[in-house]
Structure 1
């Protein structure tokens, strides 16, 4: 029996209760419609503000673009972030030049850095720079515009500053880790900063607790193959799926 367009669209929205990302092929299979009909449904739902189309499917709009401020993020998954930070810090060797992305996952790394390591730390995080200076660690804060919510320095000047440097290791946070859509974040300008740092690195580590897996946000940062993931508390089936594409260090 043919499913009416309104029914299909309701079925599509119900699919989001089981998955954070709905793929076009799954819509066609579940609603028994053609790809062109599914695309029209997604266009209508996007115009209604219910979702945002992405390559090969769609993601709920509010999840794609929503971003907590630093206060809100700092209360989430604190224990997991701390364990991830300890493993990340263990990857740093004496006299390394590193980049610490703005964000609470990378901020947790700061407390494990020591002056006697003789590090040079470049960051676009204002809070990061302050804490690093308090610990007596050589710190460079890149220039640019301050984003009030995340206390990150962003913009074209930030990207230009980063392109002047070379890093032994880069540590990034992310809002989403997905086996098809890669690493994503809500803000295009923060994504540009992460991409600039990644392009100047010998090694790139992405710090992501279990809540970030199978999630997709608005702007792509990089493919999984470009980084090493440091994580904890992920099910074995998730570990196995993502380890096919990238190196995973699990606490």
Structure 2
């Protein structure tokens, strides 16, 4: 019961800028004391912030989540996103795959094709290296332990000298105002270079990451030709991002 109640609270906060204890009591059909205990728990976890007049979601991401942490979240949504993303790829294409659990799912869905794949992700490179018809290029450089991917100047240089058909960029935070952001300057710059010369620039990001932000800017959402997310975005969020130059696909 407590997990369901926490989910109800988080869903309400996702769809509203701020909530009072009284509002959450009605939403969860619980007592004020129970709701306050839940809010204390969520506050200790860093999930919410106390604000004047109520509580709101803490949308700031200070650190890079680990691959293990991300692999257990939004699995169904990521699979749908990956399925649609894979449909954009044709045999013979050259593509860039950013590091991430969603892009790893894309890799699994295109492994039957004859492709040239450039990636920063160790898991993706090892997976696709099993398929003889795929030419795999790793960007190289220092290994980031949280994402288990390559970062640094070596990878940036390579990415600036390739001209892929499609670049699939993942993220932990995206927002119409701040764009795509990353917790470190080095990670942000590398992500910016991932799609620099691509004919088609595709952001793959599930709805749970929308409205969140980190310290360093990667790019504006309008830098992408396509954004693929899931139908978990609220009506307010959809309206914020639908009237722009990129092609928004919700699966």
Q: How high is the TM-score relative to the length of structure 1?
A: 0.73
Answer yes or no: is the 8 Å Cα contact 2:166–2:198 preserved in 1.
Answer: yes
Three-state SS of the structure 1 residue aligned to 2:129 is: helix
Corresponding position of 1:234: 233
Three-state SS of the structure 1 residue aligned to 2:227 is: strand
Shift of 1:177: 1.4
Give the whole-Å Cα distance in 2 for the aligned partners of 1:119 and 1:161: 18
Answer yes or no: is the 8 Å Cα contact 2:111–2:128 preserved in 1.
Answer: no
Is 2:112 the partner of 1:123?
A: no
Three-state SS of the structure 2 residue aligned to 1:86 is: helix
Give the whole-Å Cα distance in 1 for the aligned partners of 2:193 and 2:94: 15
Change (3 A) 1:19 1:217: farther
Three-state SS of the structure 1 residue aligned to 2:165 is: strand
| Alignment gaps of 5+ in structure 1 | 1-17, 21-50, 52-58
Give the whole-Å Cα distance in 1 for the aligned partners of 2:61 and 2:68: 20
1:63-94 C-alpha deviation (Å, 9 max, x unpaired): 33122211111011111001100000001112
CA-atom RMSD in angstroms:
2.2
Corresponding position of 1:36: none
Q: How high is the TM-score relative to the length of structure 2?
A: 0.73
Corresponding position of 1:181: 178
Answer yes or no: is the 8 Å Cα contact 2:95–2:164 preserved in 1.
Answer: yes
Corresponding position of 2:69: 72
Corresponding position of 2:247: 247
Three-state SS of the structure 1 residue aligned to 2:61 is: helix
Answer yes or no: is the 8 Å Cα contact 1:231–1:250 preserved in 2.
Answer: yes
Corresponding position of 2:167: 170
Three-state SS of the structure 1 residue aligned to 2:60 is: helix
| Alignment gaps of 5+ in structure 2 | 1-15, 19-48, 50-56
Shift of 1:19: 4.5
Corresponding position of 2:35: none
Corresponding position of 2:149: 152
